[in-house]
Amino acid sequence: MGMGSTSILLFGIFVLLLVLNVPIAISLGIAALAAVVNSGLPIGMIATNVYSASSKFALLAIPFFIIGGNIMEKAGISEQLITFAKACVGHRRIGIAMVCVIVCCFFAAISGSGPATVAALGLIMIPAMVEAGYGKTLPPSLMAAGGAIGVIIPPSVTFIVYGSISGASIGKMFMAGIVPGIMMGLALVIAVMFMVRNKELKHYPKASGAERWKAFKSAFWGLLMPIIILGGIYSGVFTPTESAAVSAVYGFFVGLFIYKKLKIKDLGRIFIESASQTGVVMWVMICASLFAWVVTVDGVGVTIGNMFMAISGGNLYIYLLIVNILLIFVGMVMDANSALYIFVPILLPVAQQLGYDVVAFGIMMCVNLAIGLVTPPVGVNLFVACNIAEISIKDLIKDILPLIAAFIVVLLLITYIPQISLFLPSLMGM
């Protein structure tokens, strides 16, 4: 069998295993293993590849951000953030929906994970929105979509993965994600305004200045966390990896001594949960990087890249449209980290050849794959939100589609106006 047949075997086994409902990491790993054995490449390369994919300093940030997020979640920070957001915008007509989106943005800046955001906030926000008259299906849809912003507002595990594959500065990626993340939040609020225009909604009474100040003081320590993380990175006090460790220690301090919700005996369980979440992320990344390596060695990556170049006729706008359509479909069946490992080496070189910025391309890819968190059949956020609301995913389809459409408008804006992403990093002189 020649080299071309290796690719057919690689993708054939991968698709077959996915159809058989085998977890994505195992599907990627087995397909890569079979292709290596078939092509006669030295088996020892597998160990070398797995080691080089997982032993990067930047990736150390992942377990620390996961621990930091888990500690802050248990520290009662979500309730404080909700109370603060409620005091600020809860009295408006769609105030409760706005609270949901705003708190998702803030919590995203603490946990860096979509599903964690949905799990921590959904338990409080979904029942509150149902009670306020938003219906049974819109609250979990909005919660799932709000959680997707968690991948874009820094700190973000997805940005760390993209930076470690593409060589883009992770600090610059963090900075570039802020404006697109806020735009995604605004897009959700606008979409909800249209969706509930004929509904009778309850909202909270307007908070007095004193109540707002009190809510701000309680939420202050949580709001300070993203400022410490991002401020530390941009002032050069510490690297993104070190900032992750600082966030974990800071979360521990706030939970134990300020909110006093965290007990020493909780730590064992938090560390075990964090270790198992890190294990899942790293396992996926290792298998995906092995798969991506076979794609590269086999030359199929270059072939696909050249094919896209030919279809677009060397036109950057058409190429970006093709990439976006491809990634929307990829996001439906694959998690963001696997997709980045496989598609960054194929798609990024062509974009750079056509003169597109590496950071702007990373933000575009990550926003696109964030939309994958809320698209069936593998929309992780949808599963979490449906579990909390006790309804099935197909009940959510009619409410999730307008929210996905709102995200796609933002995706097209940041794709074709890269300055939206690059404006803050260039302002900071990065």
* DSSP for 289-300, written as a single string: HHHHHHHHHTTH
Residues of the chain predicted below pLDDT 50:
1-3
Report the share of the chain in percent with pLDDT over 70. 98
Q: Residue 149 is which amino acid? A: I
Domain borders along the chain are 1-41, 42-427
Give first-to-last CA distance, the chain, whole Å. Answer: 49
Tokens, residue 87: 């005091």
The reported pLDDT for the residue numbered 302 is 82
Burial of 377 (0-12, 13-18, 19+ CB in 10 A): exposed
* Count of other CB atoms within 10 angstroms of residue 408: 16
* Exposure string over 64-97, b if 16+ CB within 10 A, otherwise e: bbbbbbbbbbbbbbbbbbbbbbbbbbbebebbbb
The reported pLDDT for the residue numbered 188 is 92
**Distance, CA of 243 to CA of 233 (rounded, Å):** 7
**Distance, CA of 169 to CA of 164 (rounded, Å):** 9
The reported pLDDT for the residue numbered 4 is 64
Measured CA distances, 117 to 48, 72, 192, 266 (Å): 35, 11, 19, 20
Residue 156: phi and psi, rounded to 5, are -135, 125
Per the CB < 8 A criterion, the answer to whether 308 and 322 are in contact is yes
Q: Residue 117 is which amino acid? A: T
The per-residue pLDDT for range 324-336, each reduced to its tens digit, is 999 998 888 888 8
The per-residue pLDDT for range 23-80, each reduced to its tens digit, is 888 888 999 888 888 887 788 888 888 888 788 887 888 888 888 878 877 877 777 8
**Distance, CA of 389 to CA of 139 (rounded, Å):** 8
* Exposure string over 213-232, b if 16+ CB within 10 A, otherwise e: eebeebbebbbebbeebbeb
The reported pLDDT for the residue numbered 88 is 85
